[in-house]
Chain A
């Protein structure tokens, strides 16, 4: 579906790929990791720590923290704000220990996205 591209008469630069739990996802230069995932039809990439509920984009502007990912080993980044870079290795932790689409052992698990040493208010 190229309709939004036609609307703004976009002539996008060539796509590059990032790897998300081992699976390739295409990105137009400048897109956020969250937008690339959502645009590729991936709606969730994290599970919550109590109810194991799937989460992806919700607020889309960096306020709700639902879309957290680990990028190249840096934990707890907001996918909706983090611009993708060629070769980024995104691990979600959502499919740890499972055979997710294209998932590789050791590529998704281990990085609890809630475990970053970060303070936030009180």
Chain B
């Protein structure tokens, strides 16, 4: 069967949109697919029309540039929003993308293309700790999504905790939107503003802006501090904040009253689709599996490209640059004339080096494992406490996979997306690339049903 498109792009964030647009300008017939009803991915998450926001850019840095790319792309390429991709296959030079259309009455749809660009982004990496499953405890990205996508402030009295520069925009966003942010607790050393990584990326204005917002709202920003327990009967009422030593062992503790905790310890790139295709992966600077790519963002599978967080967590600016490079490679590999642009590759190298430095400046230290008690859930879905993980290890489960088979962490609804990193750490391993032959839940009827392409269907 002749593929319908030259290039399918999965993910409508900065990498996917830049890649699709670049490939389209280079002469390819492109289709862009995203699960969300609006473009932007997590970073440029758009408000629904129903808000009639006159100044939507107030919640984002760089939204105008993204919006211009999006409007241009929409006029040039096919765009399938609200399409969740649950599987991709490749045979005889054709990539088949299997989607479910719609957010409740799902309909199967199939897209075929000669090439595939994977720009599926990342999600928060939470660590388990006592009380992390109490209502009111949210991931930092979840708090951002409520605000950017729904204009809902996650709580009245909010604590922000975890590690990494992402905590700053989350805290500043919440404070600016009216929340009483009781503190930002950065488990690693708080870098002085002069050494802050955002400065290295030419984002001084952004870093200063967050700092100014936090100062204006008198939000304390403490390094070497973490939330090590959350408390409450049916919902969060307070957290235990600890001062940490360099290995993240608690040195002293105090209590902070709050109704909401927004936290995250970095990000997990979403690799289901490249792993399904057999793309090679490697361990990033923080041990996370990421897709292996060459200088043109080609994966190890011919005709398959990856850009953005799936090649290593590095933020929206790097993602956009990678998207552009990948779009150019896809066009060149299909015989389009694409003049070299070494400036773009140099920009990518500079930003990627900075991203690596960031991962090294904000690592996850092993002391967090000491915050857990025997009854602390490691896996939220299957409700597996730490004691069950330790029992499995006593029974001889020496690696994460054996722990999973014996004690069931990672076997529930989320398929280990939330606990996979923690289980790997508890087993003394780097997390493995996820093997999920089905990337999104799908009803059995849809799995069995024949699928139609957008043109036929």
Contact = CB atoms under 8 A, between A and B. Distances in A.
B433 to A, nearest CB: 14
Contacts of B47: 8, 10, 30
Interface residues of A, number: 56
B417 A3 contact: no
Interface string B73-106: 0000000000000000000000000000001110
A13 B442 CA distance: 34
Interface in A1-49: 1, 3-5, 7-13, 28-32, 35-36, 38-39, 43-44, 48
Nearest to B142: A60
Q: Is the interface of B mostly helix, strand, loop or mixed?
A: loop
B152 A117 contact: no
Nearest to A77: B104
Nearest to A117: B444
A31 B380 contact: no
Given A7-B176, A39-B152, A121-B438, A81 B444 contact: no
A65 B103 contact: no
B103 A64 contact: no
B235 A44 contact: yes
Interface in B402-457: 411-415, 417-418, 436-438, 441-444, 447
B212 interface: no
Given A7-B176, A39-B150, A56-B135, A118 B142 contact: no
Contacts of A35: 146, 149-150, 152
Given A7-B55, A11-B52, A120-B441, A60 B417 contact: no
Interface in A51-72: 51, 53-66, 68, 71
Contacts of B177: 3-4, 7
A12 B135 contact: no
B209 interface: no
A4 B178 contact: yes
Given A12-B51, A62-B35, A31 B135 contact: no
B50 A31 contact: yes
B441 A28 contact: no
B283 interface: no
Contact of A3 (B37, B42, B178): B178
A56 to B, nearest CB: 4
Interface residues of B, number: 66
Contacts of A13: 50-52
A76 B441 CA distance: 10
A35 to B, nearest CB: 4
A19 B414 CA distance: 27
**Which of A9, A48, A56, A61 has the most C-beta atoms of chain B within 10 angstroms of its own C-beta?**
A61
A87 to B, nearest CB: 14
B257 to A, nearest CB: 16
A50 B411 CA distance: 14
A114 B412 CA distance: 10
Contacts of A10: 47, 51-54, 151
**Which of A60, A71, A80, A114 has the most C-beta atoms of chain B within 10 angstroms of its own C-beta?**
A60
A41 B123 CA distance: 25
Interface in B373-403: 380-383
Contact of A64 (B48, B414, B442): B414
Interface of B: 35, 37, 42, 47-56, 58-59, 103-105, 123-124, 126, 133-139, 141-147, 149-154, 176-178, 234-236, 380-383, 411-415, 417-418, 436-438, 441-444, 447
